[in-house]
């Protein structure tokens, strides 16, 4: 009797411990900031392990209970100490960051103040970033104002930590490189110096500068790898306050129009608006595309007339949708077209290839990386094999942008 009660208790306590560890680990994966992560990590290193050790009582073995008690006491003492040490280090390092911005430090975030399209480019010297910079330089040639942002790693080198007023030479070198690249198109770029987590800092820089377009390079990781290992471009594209131009490994700026896909949803309409704004700056022409598949009707194949009729209804609906979008955007009706029988990504990509599109504009539903990998993300699948750079319009860009 007592034995079975102990068994149930032990199983329950063990399950609770593992559940705590799972929750903590999930938090650790989802939270970007070190202080938030510490909270989640504390759940694993402290309570989870302690509760699992408590379950030893149900084994009824004196050996195990004694050893477990020893580990219990040790973890009880060291887990908070280790957590505190890490938190203190994070605090000190962040403090050193703040000093960076104080007088004497290199100037930060010059403002973007031209008449052209305000464009923020992320540059870290990688191949992907070089491609992004190349595209940005081409945009600059058509009159965009460029700000180049570099996010230095958060104080890996103690030398800088000791003397925060000293410029980070690598950052300066990268920014000088970027400036000269943009200068070849005849315009001067302003520079933004940041330090810390790439995604957080880029988003913060975007909040500050309020650009009309953010340009990032993508290493071309697939959705699954991106979810597991993290993808800066995908994270920025999901959470930014402006449309994000993602330059993939094979993407080149075409000579044709800007292609935007619409499906009648509010999100896609906002993407179309963003595309229209880009077109006003670039003057490449706009192509609004609606692709749809014929609704499968069971038994319809037996009655060809009915099938044709249904196809007509679908076609009419698509036409009406496009007419509505064209009206809303104030573009001529000729700038829109429908693609029938295309699953959307394939149809859009095919059209972009055929038209030699300058840019491809799609809406992002703002799904997190994990959900996007599991449930499939439209924008991610487009990004993976687009022939031209893709502009992802995140939900945050819609809320803040005027018409």
Partner 1 sequence: MPDAVAAVALAWATLLVLGGGVVLLRSHDTLHRVLALDVLVSIVVALLTILSYLRDVSYYLDAALALALLSFVATLVAVRHLTRGIPS
Interface residues toward partner 1, by CB under 8 A: 7, 10-11, 14-15, 17-18, 21-22, 24-25, 28-29, 34, 37-38, 41, 44-45, 48-49, 52-53, 55-56, 58-59, 61, 63-64, 66-68, 70-71, 74-75, 78-79, 81-83, 85-86, 88-90, 92-93, 95-96, 153-156, 158-159, 161-162, 197-198, 228-230
CB of 20 to partner 1, least distance (A): 10
CB of 270 to partner 1, least distance (A): 31
CB of 360 to partner 1, least distance (A): 29
- The Cα–Cα gap between 48 and 14 comes to 9
- The Cα–Cα gap between 225 and 370 comes to 10
Give strand pairing partners of 122.
149
Closest to partner 1 by CB, 58 or 358: 58
Closest CA to 196 of 87, 325, 349, 93: 93
Closest to partner 1 by CB, 53 or 388: 53
Closest to partner 1 by CB, 85 or 316: 85
Closest CA to 402 of 248, 277, 247: 277
CB of 372 to partner 1, least distance (A): 16
Strands 390-393 and 244-247, by their bridges, are antiparallel
CB of 194 to partner 1, least distance (A): 14
- Residue 195 near residue 154 (C-beta atoms within 8 A): yes
DSSP-derived secondary structure for 64-109: HHHHHHHHHHHHHHHHHHHHHHHHHHHHHHHHHHHHHHSTTSPP--
CB of 93 to partner 1, least distance (A): 7
Angle at 144 between CA 257 and CA 232, to 5 degrees: 85
Helices within 210-343 (DSSP H only): 223-229, 232-239, 266-282, 304-329
Closest to partner 1 by CB, 229 or 306: 229
Closest to partner 1 by CB, 143 or 230: 230
For CA atoms 345, 349, 355, 360, give the dihedral sign. positive
Closest to partner 1 by CB, 197 or 212: 197
Closest to partner 1 by CB, 38 or 346: 38
CB of 96 to partner 1, least distance (A): 6
- The Cα–Cα gap between 92 and 82 comes to 15
């Amino acid at each position: 009797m007592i034995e079975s009660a102990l068994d149930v208790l032990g199983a329950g306590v063990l399950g609770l411990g593992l559940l705590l560890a799972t929750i903590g680990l999930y938090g650790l994966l989802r939270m970007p900031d070190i202080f938030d992560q510490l909270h989640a990590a504390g759940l694993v290193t402290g309570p989870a392990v302690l509760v699992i050790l408590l379950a030893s009582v149900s084994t009824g073995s004196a050996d195990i209970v004694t050893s477990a008690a020893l580990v219990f006491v040790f973890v009880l003492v060291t887990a908070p100490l280790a957590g505190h040490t890490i938190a203190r280090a994070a605090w000190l390092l962040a403090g050193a960051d703040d000093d960076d911005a104080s007088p004497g430090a290199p100037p930060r975030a010059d403002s973007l103040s031209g008449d052209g399209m305000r464009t923020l480019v992320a540059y870290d010297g990688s191949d992907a970033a070089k491609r992004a910079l190349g595209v940005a330089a081409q945009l600059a040639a058509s009159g965009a104002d460029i700000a180049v942002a570099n996010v230095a790693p958060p104080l890996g080198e103690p030398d800088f930590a000791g003397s925060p007023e000293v410029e980070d030479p690598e950052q300066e070198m990268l920014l000088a490189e970027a400036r000269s690249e943009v200068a070849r198109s005849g315009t001067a770029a302003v520079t933004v110096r940041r330090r810390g987590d790439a995604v957080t800092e880029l988003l913060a820089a975007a909040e500050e500068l309020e650009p009309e377009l953010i340009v990032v390079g993508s290493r071309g990781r697939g959705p699954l790898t991106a979810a597991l290992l993290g993808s800066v471009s995908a994270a920025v594209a999901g959470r930014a306050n402006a449309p994000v131009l993602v330059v993939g490994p094979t993407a080149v700026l075409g000579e044709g129009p800007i292609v935007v896909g619409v499906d009648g949803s509010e999100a896609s309409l906002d993407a179309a608006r963003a595309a229209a704004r880009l077109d006003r700056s670039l003057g490449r022409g706009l192509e609004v595309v609606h692709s749809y598949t014929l609704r499968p009707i069971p038994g319809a194949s037996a009655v060809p007339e009915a099938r044709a009729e249904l196809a007509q209804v679908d076609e009419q609906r698509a036409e009406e949708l496009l007419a509505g979008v064209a009206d809303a955007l104030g573009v001529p009706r000729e700038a829109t077209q429908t693609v029938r029988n295309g699953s959307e990504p394939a149809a859009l990509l095919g059209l972009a290839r055929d038209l030699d599109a300058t840019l491809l504009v799609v809406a992002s539903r703002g799904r997190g990386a994990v959900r996007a990998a599991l449930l499939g993300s439209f924008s991610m699948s487009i990004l993976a094999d687009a022939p031209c750079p893709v502009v992802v319009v995140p939900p945050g860009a819609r809320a803040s942008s005027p018409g």
